[in-house]
Amino acid sequence: MRLIVMRHAKSDWSSAAETDHARPLNERGQRSARALGKWLRSRDFLPDMALISTAVRTRQTFDLLALRAAGQYSSQMYLAQPQVLFDMVSNAQGQVVLILGHNPGIAEFAAQILKAPPHHPRFQDFPTGATLVADILCDTWDAVAPGCARASAFVTPRDLS
């Protein structure tokens, strides 16, 4: 099994959105999301399902990835702490699952799920668009726990430009 852990692409802080939840991607974020989707497809990191925060910027990121995975949107994932994300993953289905959320929870989740962090200078701060591909070392999604994955790949949008 494989888990793809992604932070949404760059959002538009100058947007007239009334709430943080409604803040959209900016142009750079849109380009980054497309590039990340191309990167995932080129390496055959194709999810069967995606667990996505209901925020506008995560929905837009997922749409621009242009993956054929079924998206499952959850308001629980909006600014979720790592334990909520572990709970969400425990109910996942398929061999490859994408989880798309927000910092700081998504970065903490990525760090906790791995036995050892990847050798990348940006892993610790998990910038917008950061994407971890992790191979799961247990047999079922409901057995996923801290330290049960090995980093297969890690990329940021700047790595792709």
Does position 17 have pLDDT exceeding 90, yes or no? Answer: no
- For 2-160, give the CATH class: alpha beta
Query: Which residues face 134 on adjacent strands?
Result: 3, 151
pLDDT in tens, 111-124: 999 999 999 999 99
Q: Tell me the H-state helices in the chain.
A: 27-42, 56-65, 82-90, 105-113, 157-160
Summary mean pLDDT of the chain: 96
Single pTM value for the model: 0.96
d(CA 113, CA 143): 12
Contact 92, 134 (CB under 8 A): no
- If DSSP codes are grouped into helix, strand and coil, which group holds residue 90? helix
Is the sign of the CA dihedral 69, 71, 76, 80 positive or negative? positive
Is the sign of the CA dihedral 87, 142, 7, 16 positive or negative? negative
CA atoms within 13 A on the CB side of 68: 4
Q: Quick one: pLDDT at residue 13?
A: 87
What is the phi/psi pair of residue 43, to 5°? Answer: -105, 5
pLDDT in tens, 57-104: 999 999 999 999 999 999 999 999 999 999 999 999 999 999 999 999
16: confidence class by pLDDT, cuts 50, 70, 90: confident
